[in-house]
Amino acid sequence: MPQIALRDDDGTLTMLRDSIAGFAKQNPGPPRLRAERNARRGIAPAIWKQFAEAGWIGLLLPEDAGGPGLTIREQVIVSEALGRALAPEPYATLSVFAPALLAGATRNAERDRLCAGIISGGAIVSVAWQDKAAPAGAEPASTKAVARDGGWSIDGAKVLVDASGAATDFLVVAETEGTAALFYVPSDTAGLTVTSRPGIDGSEIAEIALGNCRVDDRKLLQRAATADALLRDPIQDTRLAIAAELSGLAGKALELTIGYTSQRVQFGKPIASFQVIQHRLVDMWMQAELAGAAVRNAVELRCKAATPREIAIATFAAKARAADAAMMICRNAIHLYGAMGYTDECDIGLYLKRAINLGAMLGNSDTMRRLFLQAEQTSDH
């Protein structure tokens, strides 16, 4: 089946793929997705601890932050394998986005403690960056932080926050003194309230209200001129991880559909023997291959140290291509499964719902195309 083809000279990427495949056999994704959907936690801490013990969390954290200091190549392979496994955890935001923000933060005891907690699985750190007043982008920030009594008072509201029910800490982006700032806010901080709802795939999506949340000065981790400057690179890392996860999901959905159509009999023959079905399966296979190729292109440009503009363009293209491929494959899969494909008991429907959720995360395919065109028209200088 299609997969992201990257050079694997020392076998590390194969080892990572195999380790996640082994985990998925013992902990199948569809039953776990249903369980988490019903539990409304957003994430199972025991499973997340297993992720940490396997070394899958915070792969991009540098060694000076206690991380393994791996590259985007390893990250993409892990994300792809988790997509194939239909892992319900918000892996990209918890294991890529939050660590990427911390990697760029000023080093202090609070930052190092959070990084160590992420690596060990003891800290579940969720990013609260999208303002309720402007959820489509990072600017302007209506969440404000005011210096007070040797610390900070934070007021505002954030939306689309993952795993809030299990989160031990939040990374909150706020405006302070004319700059953008990243604060570390423990989940039990007075004045912080969480209102959650289920997403289309059952994952938890929350709104966080901050009313006079007091944090000490050590919890101001980083400042930047604008929120875009603070968030741009971590978001690009996360988008590429999501694209890889979508690519893996698409490949697995295709594999399941080929297996099912080879067994489903109509007019005395498996429906996969009918030419019209074969044509549809080939179209699905082509989309899966194109998604993997787009992700591979973005990875290779990163590894070659291409210009920021070239990397951004490739990342936008990878996210758009992978999201569209996953949607096309999963929708066609449900058609080929017939009426049972619409039932909750049939796993293929879970792949479609997960594809919808991941495809919208950090910008849907239409948004990626708009950003692609804007980047194409700009200069590197």
Task: Compute φ and ψ for 205, nearest 5 degrees.
Answer: -125, 130
Residues 180 and 300 in one domain: no
Residues 219 and 234 in one domain: no
Residues 254 and 369 in one domain: yes
What does the alpha-carbon distance between residue 241 and residue 91 come to, in Å, rounded to a whole number?
Answer: 9
Asked if 247 and 190 count as a contact pair (C-beta separation under 8 A), the reply is no
Tokens describing residue 215: 């944090």
- 6 in any annotated domain: no
Instruction: Report the pLDDT value the prediction gives residue 339, as an integer from 0 to 100.
Output: 85
Domain count, the chain: 3
Residues 143 and 212 in one domain: yes
What does the alpha-carbon distance between residue 89 and residue 312 come to, in Å, rounded to a whole number?
Answer: 26
What are the residues facing 152 on neighbouring strands? 147, 215
Question: Which CATH number covers residue 99?
Answer: 1.10.540.10
Residues 20 and 53 in one domain: yes
Tokens describing residue 298: 């973005």
User: What are the respective helix, strand and coil percentages of the chain, to the nearest 5?
Assistant: 55, 20, 25
Residues 207 and 149 in one domain: yes
What is the residue-level pLDDT of the chain in tens, covering all 381 positions? 677 878 887 888 999 999 999 999 999 999 999 988 877 777 888 899 999 999 999 999 988 888 898 999 999 999 999 999 999 999 999 999 999 999 988 888 889 999 999 999 999 999 999 997 665 555 556 899 999 988 999 999 999 999 988 899 999 999 998 899 999 999 999 999 999 998 888 888 999 999 999 999 999 999 999 999 999 999 999 999 999 999 999 999 999 999 999 988 888 898 888 999 999 999 999 999 999 999 999 999 998 888 999 999 999 999 999 999 999 999 999 999 998 888 888 999 999 999 999 999 999 999 999 999 999 888 765
Instruction: Print the domain residue range for 50.
Output: 12-120
Instruction: Report the pLDDT value the prediction gives residue 139, as an integer from 0 to 100.
Output: 53
Evaluate if pTM is beyond 0.85: yes
- 349 in any annotated domain: yes
Instruction: Report the pLDDT value the prediction gives residue 161, as an integer from 0 to 100.
Output: 94
Question: Which CATH number covers residue 211?
Answer: 2.40.110.10
Please report, for residues 10, 352, 364, the alpha-carbon distance to residue 359 in angstroms, rounded to integers and kept in the order given: 32, 10, 5
What's the CA dihedral at 7, 12, 16, 18 to 10 degrees?
90
What does the alpha-carbon distance between residue 98 and residue 115 come to, in Å, rounded to a whole number?
Answer: 9
